[in-house]
Amino acid sequence: MFKPLFWVIRRDLTIAMRRRSDVFTTLIFFVIVVSLFPLGIGPEPNTLRQIAPGIVWVGALLASMLALEQIFSADHRDGTLEQMLLTPQPVSVLVVGKVLAHWLVSGVPLVVMAPILGLQYDLSVDVQLILVASLLLGTPALSLIGAIGAALTLGLRSGGVLLALLVLPLYIPVLIFGAGAVEATASGLGGQAHLSMLAAILVGSMVLAPLATAAALRVAED
């Protein structure tokens, strides 16, 4: 069971490394979106410190949503996905592998970049740590949940906008607990409870989301 998993991860990572610009587009989008808010709101440090968790989190959420389309679309176009569904391996394992590879390529850079953006908002060190921890727990959950939407909208005309409409409402719990953890730490309450909830969402989505994604892929490739 683990052999096809690692095979899919290695394959997707190799493909991603040969098309590095895709990775950077997502990352640069994240940086630009997060940098736009101070320009719109004003450079007052206290206000910025207060809104930073929400803005960094919403930025990460939008960036990872924009990257979702790439999970399956290239494989769908050249028929690789169909071949994958025909293999005797369980589809949900292949889905987990693809989502994990996708997260390594598009999610991890966001997590690495977040503390640097946090500096723009004058966040203290321990708040930064919680920000990274919450993103580390939250972004894989975003990729897992988003994969369902990506599979459902595979090959549709208005795929991109439709994907946002389907996936964003489902992202709300992750956003609430992710930004909440950072905010609770900043206000001195401690973000433990929020991080535990995020971890619970991650575990839950790791179990359920691949099944739904696999079902959706079967429908799309039928």
Contacts of 139 (CB under 8 A, 6+ apart): 60, 64, 103, 107, 108, 110, 111
| DSSP letter assigned to residue 32 | H
Binding mask 160-179 for another protein (x = CB under 8 A): --x--xx-xxx-xx--xx--
In the bound state with another protein, the residue whose beta carbon lies nearer, of 14 and 196, is: 196
Please tell me whether residue 216 binds another protein under the rule CB under 8 A.
Answer: yes
* Of the candidates 46, 64, 58, the residue with the CA atom closest to the CA atom of residue 176: 58
State which of residues 109, 118, 146, 180 lies at the interface with another protein (CB under 8 A): 180
* Of the candidates 83, 82, 69, 66, the residue with the CA atom closest to the CA atom of residue 156: 69
Please tell me whether residue 206 binds another protein under the rule CB under 8 A.
Answer: no
Please tell me whether residue 219 binds another protein under the rule CB under 8 A.
Answer: yes
Residue corresponding to tokens 């401690």: 190
State which of residues 34, 55, 144, 201 lies at the interface with another protein (CB under 8 A): 201
Residue 34 to residues 51, 133, 200, 205, Cα–Cα distance (Å): 11, 18, 27, 27
Q: Which stretch binds another protein (CB under 8 A): 63-71, 114-122, 136-144, 149-157?
A: 149-157
Interface residues with another protein (CB under 8 A) are 148, 152-153, 156-158, 162, 165-166, 168-170, 172-173, 176-177, 180, 184, 197, 201, 208, 212, 215-216, 219-220, 222
